[in-house]
Structure 1
Amino acid sequence: MEDDSRKDHGRGARWERRAEVPLACTSMLFLAAYAVWVLAPGLSGAGRTACLGVLLTAWAVFAVDYAVRWRLSGRGTAFVRTHALDTLVLLLPLLRPLRLVRVHQAVLRRRGRPRLALYTRVMVYAGLSAVLLALTGALAVYQQEHAAPDASIRTFGDAVWWACATLATVGYGDLVPVTPVGRVVAVAMMICGLGFLGAVTGSFSSWLLQVFARESAEDDAGPPGS
């Protein structure tokens, strides 16, 4: 049983490595199709059909990836419980482009290049995730809000400004969502914003402490040869 579990884990890891870049490309297509769908309501019928086809095909690819990883894990329903985020992304595919931040790391592993330092990786990944989340959140809120009665978010520029202010936990209050779905998106972005901010500030603080500790140790040791 233990050998079978190890084999399943090995196959699952190989699948994830091979599928990372193709899935990232699919995520980019999904995000692009969704952006066109939202920002070009006057698109021809054929154009909207093409966008819908890309969205559904991409979601099908994500579903196949989830099913394969579930099967290779050999853990049955426990896979769903231990991969709650993956399950959420499958149900809300608009969050899938956030996985794009892992592509650079996957490419570096394939080429055998050294990885970025831990603190740098955390800050870079959090920053890229924040940018992608701001874009997807702005698209989702704009889609729900721009035609709603009494809405203050009327243009995509308003939505981007609101998304940036929300993720930065500033909350100016000049633009607020009024629809139920828009408010749900707002709550999710507030939580993510706090998480990203905590990750970046925590990593930066740890890096500073490490630098100061190294400098203090060098000062205590004195100049070479003393």
Structure 2
Amino acid sequence: MTDPGAEMTQPIRILLCDDHVVVRAGLLALLDSAAGIEVVGEAGTGEEAIALAAKLRPDVVLMDLQLGEGMDGVETTRRLTTDPEDPATGHRPHVLVLTTYDTDADITRAIEAGATGYLLKAERPEELFAAIHAAAEGRTALSAPVASRVMANMRKPRPTLTDRERDILAQLAHGLGNREIAKALFISEATVKTHLGRIYDKLGVDTRAGAVSVAKEQRLLP
């Protein structure tokens, strides 16, 4: 017998944002079968998602990270969660990331952008439904593998860099080469190379791009 109280509950309004039409169609069919959930719109780009969110005022935006050309899922999430609230209702949607990407960098960027949850597309439908309900209430929802990575990173001691190593890392992040860094910091190129070697060892990387990526993940840049 259907609970009459459940019928009176307003469904959770969902906006889908994924650049793949087939994926959106699959999600729409799946969510249509879930009690208490209503898909009110679909977006194929970040820009479209922002426009539709302002118009439709969904409770949760189901967000992919890679959206092709234009604004990516992280920047779209940031805009949705930090833009001014609707002046009439004080409304701002929660964002639940639904993606195939589970790297530390992707997870960190999405959470820092304001995502309420981070779910992998390999999850079972029941996990997705539960995560949507949690996100609608403002509660954190993470896939088990994502939660494990987040906890592991929290327990991992951050590398200790000297002030000079931080200076050099900051110059790397701006795309400067060894000679340019040497000129900017009034040191020799040989000294720059020595410090780079130490930075690589401490961060567990062997490339400039890797050093910058890890530094951003662990908030080591000034």
The alignment's TM-score, normalised by the length of structure 2, stands at 0.25
Structure showing the higher strand proportion among its residues: 2
The alignment's TM-score, normalised by the length of structure 1, stands at 0.24
Structure showing the higher helix proportion among its residues: 1
